[in-house]
Amino acid sequence: MQGIRGLFVPGPTNVPEAVRKAMDVPMEDHRSPDVPALVLPLFQDLKKVFRTETGQVFLFPATGTGGWEASITNTLSPGDKVLAPRFGQFSVLWVDLCQRLGLDVETLDCEWGTGVPLETVAERLMADKKHEIKAILACHNETATGVTSDIGGLRKVMDQCDHPALLYVDGISSIGSLEFRMEDWGVDLAVAGSQKGFMMPAGLALIGVSQKALEASKTAQLRRCYFDFKDMIATNATGYFPYTPPMHMLHGLRASLNRIEAEGLENIWGRHRFLAEGVRRAVAAWNLTLCAKEPKWHSDTVSAIVVPEGHDARKVIARAYERYGLSLGAGLSVVAGKVFRIGHLGDLNELMLMMALGGAEMSMRDVGLPIEAGSGVAAAEEFWRASNSRSMALA
Ligand code: PLP
């Protein structure tokens, strides 16, 4: 195909030129005396992105799923009870991982399009007088449905119930893009992936771990080897890894963190809100709805757009890819065929996002959806044009 392809799945996201170039390095000696000068500042700067001062950040060559596994196996024991709200494909998969690892998972099943149900969690924690629940798993940004949950609110609920469970947060499609405050929200294990807000290829799982979780890891009995925090702690302290690290990814991470630092996290959160709002205006102008049931659930990194009854979102996605070279995110599992997703996270601006809106609009019309030509693009355009700043205050 001539020209560039549009990558608008909600991760992997576009890798900025500076990050791609930083990764293009000759192979190097990962035990050389030069390595700590690269590695040690990465850990310091990652703490700023996770917004933790007292926690520790681990880097594993793995994807986000490996990050889930590392956080669970390091801190829990076989048969431990965990409470897991489930409202989209990624919370489904996280529960599955916990069950396969031998945990006793109590799910709170919620309608897809909603998020962590704070009142139900509160009731459940209040009833748990013996503190049998050892962990609460919350998917901050459910990428399958475009739903963001209130993690600060969840922490308040846990505190009001005076419940000592560890708080695990899947921040894979939020950390580095959406407001995330590990320390303030009392998050014990926060999992991120390199291919989303960090604007890198997939392949690094980044995990923020609180002191409370590190303490728990000393007695946790689940089997682990490659993912053992203990080995990491010992070698990371001097700026090395217990095995061969992917050096090119570490160079890419350096460049990514430099960009994050230069833009500023608050500005990044505001930019994601601003860009996402333009997409939401387009969806409204198309007379379509989001999978997210209420504005309080709206995700600023991904919009899952519901196609009208009698239409198949898979056709929109196929048409966009084949005719226009545009990748849109598919509907996963129970929303397959019902939604298509536009990822709007990472290294992105209005004109790039216009490509996704224009391509989605043309593809929907091509496969017979009743969409007025230019309607969504015009609505986004009017919203974005009205502001000189590429940012928007968070509520
Ligand atoms: N959790 C969420 C919210 C995700 O969006 C994803 C991937 O898109 C995952 C978990 C799984 O991460 P990975 O595919 O990097 O293993």
Average pLDDT over residues 111-140: 98
Percent of the chain with pLDDT over 90: 99
Whether the predicted pLDDT of 207 surpasses 80: yes
pLDDT tier for residue 158 given thresholds of 50, 70 and 90: very high
Whether the predicted pLDDT of 145 surpasses 80: yes
Q: Is 54 exposed, middle or buried (0-12, 13-18, 19+ CB in 10 A)?
A: exposed
List, chain by chain if needed, residues with CB within 6 Å of any ligand 1 atom.
11, 63-65, 90, 139, 141, 143, 170, 172-173, 193, 202
Task: Pick the atom of ligand 1 nearest to 144's CA.
Answer: 5
Is residue 207 within a helix (H) or strand (E), and if so which, with residue range? strand 204-209
For tokens 């006793």, name the residue.
104
pLDDT tier for residue 263 given thresholds of 50, 70 and 90: very high
CATH number of 18-262: 3.40.640.10
Q: Using one digit for the tens of pLDDT, what is the confidence trace for 268-311?
A: 999 999 999 999 999 999 999 999 999 999 999 999 999 999 99
Pairing of strands 189-193, 204-209: antiparallel
Whether the predicted pLDDT of 73 surpasses 90: yes
Separation CA 362–CA 154 (nearest Å): 41
Average pLDDT over residues 220-225: 98
Distance from Cα 143 to the centre of ligand 1, integer Å: 8
Query: In the chain, what are the domain boundaries?
Result: 18-262, 264-385
pLDDT tier for residue 125 given thresholds of 50, 70 and 90: very high
Separation CA 299–CA 283 (nearest Å): 14
Separation CA 94–CA 123 (nearest Å): 22
Whether the predicted pLDDT of 86 surpasses 90: yes
Question: What residue's CA is closest to ligand 1, atom 5?
Answer: 143
Contact by Cβ (8 Å): 251, 38:
yes
Q: What is the crossing angle of helices 89-100 and 64-75, to 10°?
A: 40
Sign of CA dihedral 221, 222, 226, 230: negative
Q: Using one digit for the tens of pLDDT, what is the confidence trace for 314-353?
A: 999 999 999 999 999 999 999 999 999 999 999 999 999 9
Domains 18-262 and 264-385 share a fold: no
Residue 273 marked as a ligand binder: no
Whether the predicted pLDDT of 395 surpasses 80: no
Considering the chain, what is the average pLDDT of its residues?
Answer: 98
pTM of the model: 0.98
Question: What residue's CA is closest to ligand 1, atom 13?
Answer: 64
ipTM above 0.95, yes or no: yes
pLDDT for the residue numbered 9: 98
Average pLDDT over residues 194-215: 98
Task: Pick the atom of ligand 1 nearest to 205's CA.
Answer: 15
Instruction: Kindly report the CATH class assigned to 264-385.
Output: alpha beta
pLDDT for the residue numbered 1: 86
Distance from Cα 37 to the centre of ligand 1, integer Å: 30
